[in-house]
């Protein structure tokens, strides 16, 4: 965990860094110093150690890792040589990020980035944008500041909740600058420094960051990693019991979860599991916050689950980013009127509202939500079929779980090599987040999140790079045949 002082400078202690390092030995065939440097470099690249963070002193880290001080000093020196650290007098060694340099091996003259699971703009978005621009003059007599949301947008979003089985008034909606903004706003409104917050693990990494910035102490609950959960299944029962235990022992102020097509696992909770989690939260006075950004991205589950708040008290976070277009940068919060008022008041500390033009565009797009979801279903199904076939051909030893919906699949590599693979792939021009990016304290080294969406040619090239990078990793060749891992599931 990175701690920040009043000037905003951060530091990470030796114990916290060791937890993030995970199984770092062997990350580079050049020896311990290079392996340590490589793992710290990856932590900086994927944001787990932010730029400007002061690393532990050489003495502290060598004691904690049971290494010689010479080895740690050599690792820090290599980080400086690579441009990932600098030494400042009186400030120790600080992490930095060098100016990006395009690898010579990058396909088609650019990097392929699999860290973003995004869908292309809707075919009718350009026409809707022109219509929204024509609507704008009717708002030019106002000051343009809108901290809550345009009335017609809030009404349209409320109507959408009605269609999904949840009666909602426009006054229960606050329009935000995307789902991440909504998560951060809810976190800093509900949580005080030192409050406990339950969160799934693995989960969306920027949710971890938002809760930590709000001062929360995170209480992770392991996700069952069973996509399309069946009520009563052993994995789901274990997950629900873990939630109940976390509520009982920690008495958290809030709990953040994704009930449908969880990112990154794709897991969905059954109605019975939702009931038990909501009941446990209610007993402890915990506010449940449900991230629904992927809730309607059903591929073949065969039904649309109602919003979590239809089964009990819950704050809902939604977004246009996954269903309509990521560039729209609009999200929303559904809550009771009292909390909406608190959120609107807290919002002005960070921003003064959502742009009018983008809201007018959203108002034009919302009536065609059903058309958008049908198109997204087709795109995600095609992406899933392409990805699974490519992995079956090039990486038959990896296990690909059933993925009935959502934006990504949570691949089982069969070995704790995710961080090494991510570094090797980056050197070939592919950006892919390592499994630990989605966990806390270095977990999920055996997993990799791969998106179901994106340009087909880029996806083919990406899997090719992954296969080549995997083949170069020490020990990975033992897992390369279908017989060794049982193929694709």
pLDDT tens for the chain, residues 1 to 489: 554 443 345 788 888 888 888 777 876 667 899 989 988 988 887 677 877 889 999 999 999 999 999 999 999 999 999 888 898 777 789 998 775 544 444 444 578 999 988 899 999 999 999 999 999 999 999 998 989 999 999 999 999 999 999 999 999 999 999 999 999 999 999 999 999 999 999 999 999 999 999 999 999 998 886 655 555 587 888 899 999 999 999 999 999 999 999 999 999 999 999 999 999 999 999 999 999 999 999 998 767 789 999 999 999 999 999 999 999 999 999 999 999 999 999 998 888 899 999 999 999 999 999 999 999 999 999 999 999 999 999 999 999 998 999 999 999 999 889 988 998 999 999 999 999 899 886 678 899 999 999 899 999 999 999 999 999 987 665 444 333 333 222
> In the chain, what are the domain boundaries?
2-95, 107-120+371-485, 125-369
Burial class (CB in 10 A: 0-12, 13-18, 19+), 385: exposed
pLDDT score at 22: 78
- DSSP letter at 154 equals H
2-95 adopts what CATH topology? Arc Repressor Mutant, subunit A (1.10.10)
Query: Could you give the CA distance from residue 469 to residue 483 in angstroms, rounded to a whole number?
Result: 21
Supply the pTM of this predicted model: 0.81
pLDDT score at 104: 43
Six-digit token pair at 443?
């977990």
Could you confirm whether domain 107-120+371-485 is CATH 3.90.1150.10?
A: yes
pLDDT score at 285: 96
Q: Is the dihedral of CA 168, 187, 45, 36 positive or negative?
A: negative
125-369 adopts what CATH topology? 3.40.640
SS3 210: helix
Among candidates 285, 240, 289, which has minimal Cα distance to 267?
A: 240
SS3 88: strand
Contacts 24+ apart (CB under 8 A), 366-374: 366/153, 366/156, 366/157, 366/160, 367/156, 368/122, 368/124, 369/160, 369/323, 372/122, 372/323, 372/324, 373/296, 373/297, 373/298, 373/323
- DSSP letter at 403 equals -
**Look-up of token digits 């990494």:** 205
**Using an 8 Å Cβ cutoff, are 419 and 477 in contact?**
no
pLDDT score at 486: 33
Q: How much of the chain is in helix, strand and coil states, percent to nearest 5?
A: 45, 15, 40
Parallel/antiparallel/unpaired status of strands 217-222 and 196-201? parallel
**Using an 8 Å Cβ cutoff, are 460 and 389 in contact?**
no
Q: 10 Å Cβ neighbour count for 253?
A: 21
pLDDT score at 99: 59
């Amino acid at each position: 965990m990175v701690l920040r002082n009043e000037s905003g400078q951060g530091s990470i202690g030796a114990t916290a860094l060791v937890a993030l390092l995970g199984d770092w030995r062997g990350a580079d065939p050049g020896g311990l110093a290079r392996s340590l440097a490589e793992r710290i470099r990856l932590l900086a690249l994927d944001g787990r150690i932010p730029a400007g963070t002061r690393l532990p002193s050489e003495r502290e880290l060598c004691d904690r890792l049971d290494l010689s001080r010479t080895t740690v000093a050599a690792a820090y020196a290599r980080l400086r040589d690579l441009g990932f650290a600098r030494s400042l007098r009186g400030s120790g060694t600080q992490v930095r990020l060098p100016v990006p340099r395009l690898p010579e091996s990058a396909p088609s003259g650019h990097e392929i980035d699999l860290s973003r699971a995004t869908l292309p703009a809707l075919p009718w978005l350009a026409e809707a944008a022109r219509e929204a621009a024509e609507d704008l003059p009717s708002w030019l007599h106002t000051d343009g500041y809108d901290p809550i949301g345009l009335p017609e947008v809030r009404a349209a979003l409320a109507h959408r909740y009605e269609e999904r089985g949840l009666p909602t008034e426009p006054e229960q909606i606050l329009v935000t600058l995307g789902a991440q903004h909504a998560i951060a706003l809810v976190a800093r409104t509900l949580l005080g420094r030192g409050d406990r917050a339950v969160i799934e693990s693995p989960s969306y990494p920027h949710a971890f960051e938002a809760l930590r910035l709000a001062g929360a102490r995170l209480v992770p609950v392991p996700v069952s990693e069973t996509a399309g959960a069946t009520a009563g299944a052993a994995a789901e029962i274990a997950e629900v019991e873990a939630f109940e235990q976390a509520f009982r022992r920690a008495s958290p102020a809030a709990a953040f979860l994704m009930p449908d097509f969880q990112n990154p696992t794709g897991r969905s909770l059954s109605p019975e599991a939702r009931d038990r989690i909501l009941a446990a939260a209610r007993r402890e006075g915990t506010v449940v916050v449900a991230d629904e950004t992927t809730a309607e991205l059903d591929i073949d589950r065969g039904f649309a689950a109602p919003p979590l708040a239809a089964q009990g008290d819950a704050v809902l976070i939604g977004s246009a980013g996954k269903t309509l277009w990521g560039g729209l940068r609009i999200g929303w919060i559904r809550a009771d009127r009292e909390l909406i008022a608190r959120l609107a008041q807290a919002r002005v500390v960070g921003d003064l509202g959502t742009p009018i033009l983008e809201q007018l565009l959203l108002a034009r797009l919302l009536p065609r939500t059903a058309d958008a979801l049908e198109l997204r279903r087709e795109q995600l199904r095609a992406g899933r079929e392409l990805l699974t076939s490519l992995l079956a051909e090039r990486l038959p030893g990896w296990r690909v779980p059933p993925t009935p919906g959502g934006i990504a699949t949570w691949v089982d590599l069969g070995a704790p090599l995710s961080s090494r693979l991510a570094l090797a792939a980056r050197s070939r021009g592919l950006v892919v987040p390592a499994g630990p990016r989605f966990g806390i304290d270095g977990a999920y080294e055996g997993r990799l999140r791969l998106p179901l969406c994106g340009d087909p040619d880029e996806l083919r090239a990406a899997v090719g790079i992954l296969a080549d990078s995997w083949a170069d990793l020490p020990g990975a060749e033992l897992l390369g045949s279908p017989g060794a891992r049982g193929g694709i599931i």
